[in-house]
Structure 1
């Protein structure tokens, strides 16, 4: 019993307005599916539609179900209007603002239908069923048919987008997606075809005066005066809804004005990027407003933790996490108060932070997907770099903090590689293989690799300075560089194929990187690379080393400080010019 109470408490603690809106939306979508299936019976006959609607009404007008349904409709619509007010940034994926617009338009489209059917029954006892409605759409007022068709499409698309956002992160979604897509296409298609077929049948039958006397009586459709009353009620509600939306938009403007008058704050991303935003925006909304890439799988719904940030410095002045944010952080095992969800945190003062998850990862096969590079043999320079002390780092830190620091290190290394014409190719733990020469001559590739090694040192120095408050010891690294003939191509299986290089030259570069530990230096460069780059014989200390897998010793150059490599290469290039 205690366990059940704990689970219920956890569930309530983690429930937000989005979850309530989702539950209400699922109830409404269930009704829509039931209604569409009933429409689809028109492909059989109007009698089949009438038989189906009997059971449809029997279920949905059962008092407890009716209470739940109308409560869900009111809550869902109210939360949709509140979402319009609450949302400060609309530059999300295209489907999200589309869903909001479609959802807000449904009450306008459905108002007249609900008032004419449901309120007509309650006030005057009208029994408008399929024959009466189809006669209205296909004979008396064909324009109403287009309004109803638009309503069906809008309601269905809105519901499908919501179901997609709900299920897309479930483990079974990939397998279920083809079947869900088939249902999403077939159900509305059959429903609209059923309405068309039923309407044609009613239009043909309505030529008979006896049919009209039986199916279009005052008891069924009401008098002109009664329908005018229903139209006035419908028109009043539509105007009231427009007024409500206008009030919401006015409230948004007032809020924006107050926020600007309340002052601007600076958000610093830890990579030199700083933006100024009004107080009240979430960190994720600020990123979107200023086109700063920020990871967020769920689109800011607090249903994932990929937008997490780590606050730099004092976090005591920040607003306390909401129940939903605290629930998500607890679920992922984060008890560090400096880690927050960017989609939920709305800072009121200047803030500096790092993103724990990078918004995008460099594609390993970015340069190697063209058919011309598959199965080629060519000269490439391989640069292996490895972060020192990552095991000790992981023992004394939260897992996400360790991942964060390793990601920052790999980002610094990748930046240096890209700046110097190389291509990050493989990431293995806290190490990386970079390739040079995919689009350059052997001489240029060797010089690029040497300058990239110098760039790595510079960027790691900047990273150490940035993380100085959080690191007991600065980050260190080892680099191995070797060039030679390799085979390049796509390696892997099915969806796990990457472009890479295979050959002795790659293996040697990896072993040279390992030697930096025993030789107590930052880089070990093969004499092959030094010679091809055009560096003078006496520029770097020479040493012979034994390479595992090779019978003969290999001549290498030991680089104690990789920063000097950029100066050496620049001097060689000037001399050659």
Structure 2
């Protein structure tokens, strides 16, 4: 029970205004999808639309759902207006300002529809359903049909952009993207076709006086006076919304004036570059304003740590990290107070710093049409392997002989990795980082990594036999394997850009490899990988080890002989089948 408040505190720290807006947006998008699917029933008949709207209304007008829906709408709209005030730079990407503009236009477009339907029902008991609305759009006021079409397109595009920004860094996005795109195209297309087909049917039926007597009564559409009242309310709310936007724009102007009068500060990038900006800008916003390259995978949302900077000099005068910034820095294991997130730090005095991650750039002689691969968050399995005794090996051989043996070792390791579906990634001296899961699901990636470890042992045996005449003792090795969410992308500078992975999971794999020395084994596999691969609990010895940089011990499986892993993985695969 004592841990509940701690978990709640951690949840609050992890929550930002963007995440609240996302949750509210998902609720609203669910409503839009439901509404569009109901429109699509018009491709069958108007009767089918009316049957579908019964269940639509039954769910969305259920009191708890209604409260959640309207609360989400108000919060989402309010946070959107606040984002207009808060945002200082609109040059992240073209699609982000577009999303903001579309979102701010939705209340203007939807106001008359909501007032006419919902407030008409509440004040006067109007029962406007599909026949009445389609008769209005296709017979009485065709101009409103274009307004409704624009609303449908704007709401759908705005929602799809938000869903894209939410899902694009998820591990499954690459596989799901074609299906999501198909849904994003088909749902609004079928909805608009359904409105068109339903409208044609209603327009044809409305020539019959009996139809108008049944479907266009005072109870259903109200009197002229009642509709004038609803129009005045809708017009007043539209003017009020325009006034609110005007106040926000005025507040932005007042803020800019105050910042200019408050003076500027100097930001020094540690490479000779210095810019002067008004107080109140974040470091990342300052970089954007002055076209200074600055790494930022998530676009300044505090969802990654790639914009991290290290403060040079006294960091005690800086503003305290926000809850969100502190949460992100804690997640990446950074306890150094001189390291901050550039997207969150808003200095009030001169500041010197340097970036911890080199911004993605193109080679000086590369084609400008070939973009660097942007960062992406996904689940990968990292395998670190290191050659033991290479220092003693070098002491007793000519340098070129040592290089030859190390290259043969790395070649044997790389062959085993590639044979089992992995990708050799980084070569550091006599060690190597391999990545699994770039084109496979987590379970397959874990199994591939374990089988690769067994393959490494087998290939090294063959290498030892081949070089037995020249080696005083066989080549030995240590392997560490761990899986988890990492950031992958192009890292480096100009002609020295490499594709690699960054994150806690990679660091842990390297530290598990180091532990093979003290544990006198060939491989140490995290419990995360063993469990995901489907290994039985008693398949390998288990123990808890302390990982540098982590507060709590970590469960691992100790592999004395890596060659056994193939049989264990294949055996468990057959059992699962």
Report the TM-score, using the length of structure 1 for normalisation.
0.66
Shift of 1:171: 1.0
- Decide whether the 8 Å contact of 1:364 with 1:498 is kept in 2: no
Cα-Cα RMSD: 18.3
Shift of 1:33: 0.5
Distance 1:136 1:106 in 2: 21
Equivalent runs, 1:13-92 vs 2, <5 Å? 13-92=13-92
- Decide whether the 8 Å contact of 1:318 with 1:348 is kept in 2: yes
With 7-16 and 402-411 compared, the bigger mean Cα shift is at 402-411
Shift of 1:366: 4.6
Deviations 1:475-521 (A, max 9, x none): 99999999999999999999999999999999999999999999999
Distance 2:554 2:8 in 1: 67
Distance 1:389 1:28, change over 3 A: farther
Distance 1:198 1:271, change over 3 A: same
- Decide whether the 8 Å contact of 1:376 with 1:487 is kept in 2: yes
Unmatched 5+ stretches in structure 1: none
Shift of 1:296: 1.1
Shift of 1:142: 0.5
Deviations 1:243-263 (A, max 9, x none): 000000000000000011111
With 425-434 and 193-202 compared, the bigger mean Cα shift is at 425-434
Shift of 1:358: 1.2
Shift of 1:12: 1.1
Distance 1:348 1:164 in 2: 35
Equivalent position SS for 1:53: helix
Distance 1:125 1:575, change over 3 A: closer
Distance 1:567 1:29, change over 3 A: closer
- Decide whether the 8 Å contact of 1:380 with 1:442 is kept in 2: yes
Distance 1:228 1:364 in 2: 65
Shift of 1:7: 2.2
Shift of 1:3: 3.4
Distance 1:568 1:306, change over 3 A: closer
Distance 1:60 1:466, change over 3 A: farther
Distance 1:221 1:87, change over 3 A: same
- Decide whether the 8 Å contact of 1:369 with 1:490 is kept in 2: no
Q: Does 1:401 align with 2:393?
A: no
Deviations 1:223-255 (A, max 9, x none): 000000000000000000000000000000000
Distance 1:21 1:551 in 2: 32
With 446-455 and 198-207 compared, the bigger mean Cα shift is at 446-455
Shift of 1:82: 0.4
- Decide whether the 8 Å contact of 1:386 with 1:477 is kept in 2: yes
Distance 1:55 1:37 in 2: 12
Deviations 1:423-472 (A, max 9, x none): 99998579999999999999999999999999999999999999999999
Distance 2:171 2:529 in 1: 48
Aligned to 1:304: 304
Distance 1:60 1:282, change over 3 A: same
Distance 1:167 1:444, change over 3 A: closer
Shift of 1:357: 1.1
Report the TM-score, using the length of structure 2 for normalisation.
0.66
Deviations 1:4-58 (A, max 9, x none): 4422221112111111111111110110000011001111110010000000000
Distance 1:280 1:471 in 2: 64
With 559-568 and 287-296 compared, the bigger mean Cα shift is at 559-568
Structure showing greater radius of gyration is: 1
With 128-137 and 425-434 compared, the bigger mean Cα shift is at 425-434
Distance 1:180 1:466, change over 3 A: farther
Distance 1:168 1:192 in 2: 27
Shift of 1:73: 0.3
